[in-house]
Amino acid sequence: MHVDRDGMWQVLDSERTRLADLLTSLSTREWAQPSLCTGWTVRDVAAHLTLAPQLSVPRAFVELVRARGSFDRMVDGTARRHASRPAEALVEELRGIVGSRRLAPGQKLADALMDVLVHGQDIAVALGRRHPMPLEAARASAAHLWRIGFPFHARKKLRGFRLSATDVDWAGGAGAEIRGPIEAILPLLAGRMATLPRLTGDGAAQLTAQHPTASTDCGPGPGDPP
């Protein structure tokens, strides 16, 4: 089943709402917990997710200059600064962008959808919580992540492996097999080795041996909002 543009916006709205609900349930300690993104707490990830519709071209330019031309440094710095806001304010901002049809400069809708799905797992997995993904949207995002290069380079980094979702029709690559739910495969495509315990196959065992204490860079997507 193909997820059309209207469907992608609907899923994006739904995921922002569900994440706001999840964040509302967190304790002060959980907000400060490290996420799956190296150097980012749950609060930092939440702050990052609120910013896309707020980012104008002029502001993006100013922030890029402030980051001395580094896109990754801009993403990191703006998220950390915005994370200084109270937790309640961040939740309300996330709820407030539900229904918005604005994207960050240079961002594609497929990037925004992938972003919210992966970052949702960055928060939930780090806290030991389940946050199920909508299957068809996750399949579409896996196909998108496998197709693009920057910044995750999934096909290059996972060369020699065959990834197969067990709950939706998606597969990619060739080699030692990695099997499991798309909810675990999609974050892996984005470099999140923390989802390996949910995956099976010779390839999963090989990756686990290669990354016994792997950390994960957040790695913004193309045009991903800071």
**pLDDT digit string, tens, across residues 83-101:** 999 999 999 999 999 999 9
**What's the Rg (C-alpha) of the chain?**
17
**Residue of 180, 159, 113 lying closest to 140 (CA atoms):** 113
Q: How confident is the model at residue 61 (pLDDT cuts 50, 70, 90)?
A: low
**Phi (first) and psi of residue 163, to 5 degrees:** -100, 130
**Residue of 224, 142, 222 lying closest to 190 (CA atoms):** 142
Q: Is the pLDDT of residue 216 over 80?
A: no
Mean pLDDT of 119-138: 96
DSSP line for 179-204: EE-HHHHHHHHTT-GGGGGG-BSHHH
- The reported pLDDT for the residue numbered 211 is 84
Rounded-to-integer distance, Cα 36 and Cα 41, Å:
8
**pLDDT digit string, tens, across residues 144-187:** 999 998 889 999 999 999 999 999 999 999 999 999 999 999 99
- The reported pLDDT for the residue numbered 65 is 66
**pLDDT digit string, tens, across residues 15-46:** 999 999 999 999 999 999 999 988 899 999 99
The conformational region for residue 57 under phi > 0 = left, psi -120 to 50 = alpha, else beta, is alpha
All structural domains of the chain, each given as residue ranges with its CATH number in brackets, are 5-132 (1.20.120.450), 136-210 (3.30.1050)
Percentage of the chain lying above the pLDDT 70 cut: 88
- Half-sphere exposure of residue 163, counting CA atoms within 13 Å on the CB side? 27
Q: How confident is the model at residue 188 (pLDDT cuts 50, 70, 90)?
A: very high
